[in-house]
Amino acid sequence: MGKRRPLPGLLRRALRRGRFARSESGVTAVEFALLAVPFFALVGAILETAMVFLASEVLDAAVNDANRLILTGQAQSATFDLEDFRAAVCDHTFGLFNCDAIHLRVTPIADFGSASIAPPVEPDCEQPCDWTTPQSFSPGVSSSVVMVQAYYKWPVILNVLDFSLATLGDHTRLLAAVRVFRNEPF
């Protein structure tokens, strides 16, 4: 066996007197350092999840409120267009969204059974994830069945240990609000 190196003087004296083993100075700092990272990661994940759910509910309620314009025939005038409907949706989003980035599709369909939803973006897309279907606005006529779809790419901030709320390749989550209804006989 090799020769043992002597401990530095201060450490040797502390060990000899037993003070080093009994010393509790810095314990709080060490415990905080061990627990801070998981604690703040958990708090961040809770906050991000809450924001995604809040944004989803706000978009859903905004589309529901804006649908009244189509349902009652107010949106069927010749001057009402996609941008007017977008403004109606944005009036109910409390500034939570970039209104120009909301993807809208308003189309009449044959009946309630023929409503089918296909996301307007490829789910396994790479950055940037572009819209694959064009926006449209056709509110239908009296008593027609209309499907309104609104989509928004919500930016996801946290991506810890491959845990992320992102559903698209550009680190965003696709939020959707869809309504199918029959127009009133106006």
Mean pLDDT by 10 residues, the chain (186 residues): 62 60 75 90 92 97 97 93 97 95 96 90 82 94 96 89 83 94 94
pTM recorded for the entire structure: 0.81
What pLDDT does 135 receive? Answer: 96
What pLDDT does 117 receive? Answer: 87
What are φ and ψ of residue 115, in 5° steps? Answer: -75, 120
Tally the domains of the chain.
1
What pLDDT does 85 receive? Answer: 97
Q: Which residues fall within 8 angstroms of residue 172, CB to CB, at 6 or more apart?
A: 129, 153, 154, 155, 156, 166
In a domain, 7, yes or no: no
In a domain, 167, yes or no: yes
What pLDDT does 110 receive? Answer: 95
In a domain, 50, yes or no: yes
In a domain, 1, yes or no: no
What is the Cα–Cα distance from 152 to 136, expressed in whole angstroms?
Answer: 15
